[in-house]
Amino acid sequence: MLPIALALGFASAVSVEAAQAAEGYPSRPIRLVVPFAPGGGTDIIARLIGQSLGEAWGQSVVVDNRTGAGGVIGVALVAKSNPDGYTMLLASNGPLTYLPALSSKLPYDPEKELAPISLVAGQPFVIMASHASGIQSIKDLVAMAKSQPGKLVYSSGGAGGASHLGMELLKMLGGISMLHIAYKGTAPGLTAVASGEVQIGMGGISSVIPLVKGGRAKALAVTSAKRNVALPEVPSVHEAGVTGYEFDVWYGVLFPAGTPRAIAERASGEIARLAKQPGVRDRFAAGGMDAMSNTPEEFTAQIRREAAKWRKVVTAANIRID
């Protein structure tokens, strides 16, 4: 065991070294790993954030799409990377909070091998009904599901995905039963609702608005805690009668665990500054999203809280993808 004086001296030296590293950070290009394909929502956010960070820091932020296994490959890559601040991750809550609840075989532990930095953006989902169903509200949905257990059918963009788990959360909190049909992607799942093939579905607000505004489906509720400015006439699920329901898809930046604290704080502060810029907020809003930021501590607590919530949902619905 090190003598106390020597241990304190060592800790001080490490602290000084970390501070010096942050002072000169970044001194070379940064890799921003996106665990999803180019052109998708996460990729678009990454390129906007990467460009803005690059301009602020005077170094290139290179987006590196590492796709596969629902985000697992890209997240695992960052989790095992050198924690020097030059490899960042932009991920959604899927591989950080859903997949750990759904699978016991992930090649990474998001709570131990990643260092959350800040939220970047988020968007609510919208629960919608086909016109053929006759359902006009969440109260209608709950009443019909209770009077005819298992008769209502809802679509999702895939087993274990956001729309699947979001609807299972509704079932659990609403005390109702519905059948699930998993489609191969978000668009086919939403189209199934618009065509009347199924009665209920949900999707990101940016994907649902064209269907609702075009008169092809009925918006029942937004999944956020409060109403959304894009659909001000549509209540939240909580407001509509399912107490405690809240579900948003969010995107955030993380480093490998062990990245110097000073570097993490600098990155978090820069993201907070960007989130307040009207140009950044407007570009996110154009895609149906809200610019967001929080501290590393707040983001860490959010991931842990949501992971616990989805473990309960997955257990109640008996969903596994192993």
pLDDT tens digits for range 227-273 = 998 899 999 999 999 999 999 999 999 999 999 999 999 999 999 99
pLDDT at residue 6 tops 80: no
- Give the pLDDT confidence score for residue 4 in this predicted structure: 53
Domain topology for 124-222: D-Maltodextrin-Binding Protein; domain 2 (3.40.190)
**Between 261-275 and 41-57, two packed helices, what is the crossing angle to 10 degrees?**
110
Token pair listed for 135: 């359902």
Average pLDDT of the segment spanning 146-150: 92
- Give the pLDDT confidence score for residue 320 in this predicted structure: 82
- Give the pLDDT confidence score for residue 229 in this predicted structure: 87
Q: Using a pLDDT cut of 90, give the percent of the chain over it.
A: 79
The answer to whether the 26-122+249-317 and 124-222 domains have the same CATH topology is yes
**Between 296-317 and 162-174, two packed helices, what is the crossing angle to 10 degrees?**
70
122-138 pLDDT, tens digit per residue, is: 999 999 999 999 999 99
DSSP string, 138-178: HHHHHHHHHHSTTT-EEEESSTTSHHHHHHHHHHHHHT---
- Give the pLDDT confidence score for residue 322 in this predicted structure: 72
pLDDT at residue 162 tops 80: yes
Average pLDDT of the segment spanning 155-164: 92
Average pLDDT of the segment spanning 152-176: 95
pLDDT at residue 2 tops 50: no
272-308 pLDDT, tens digit per residue, is: 999 999 988 888 888 778 899 999 999 999 999 999 9
DSSP string, 29-71: -EEEEESS-TTSHHHHHHHHHHHHHHHHHTS-EEEEE---GGG
48-100 pLDDT, tens digit per residue, is: 999 999 999 999 999 999 999 889 999 999 999 999 999 999 999 999 999 99
- Give the pLDDT confidence score for residue 76 in this predicted structure: 98
Average pLDDT of the segment spanning 94-123: 95
pLDDT at residue 5 tops 60: no
Confidence at 20, pLDDT banded by 50, 70, 90: low
Amino acid letter, residue 253: V
pLDDT at residue 8 tops 70: no
- Give the pLDDT confidence score for residue 10 in this predicted structure: 45
Residues near 60 by beta carbon (within 8 Å), at least 6 away in sequence: 29, 30, 54
pLDDT at residue 25 tops 90: yes
* CATH architecture of the domain with residue range 26-122+249-317: 3-Layer(aba) Sandwich (3.40)
- Give the pLDDT confidence score for residue 287 in this predicted structure: 77
Confidence at 19, pLDDT banded by 50, 70, 90: low
187-207 pLDDT, tens digit per residue, is: 999 999 999 999 999 999 989
pLDDT at residue 12 tops 60: no
Q: For the beta carbon of residue 48, count every other beta carbon within 10 angstroms.
A: 19
Q: Where are the domains of the chain?
A: 26-122+249-317, 124-222
pTM of the shown model: 0.86
- Give the pLDDT confidence score for residue 13 in this predicted structure: 43
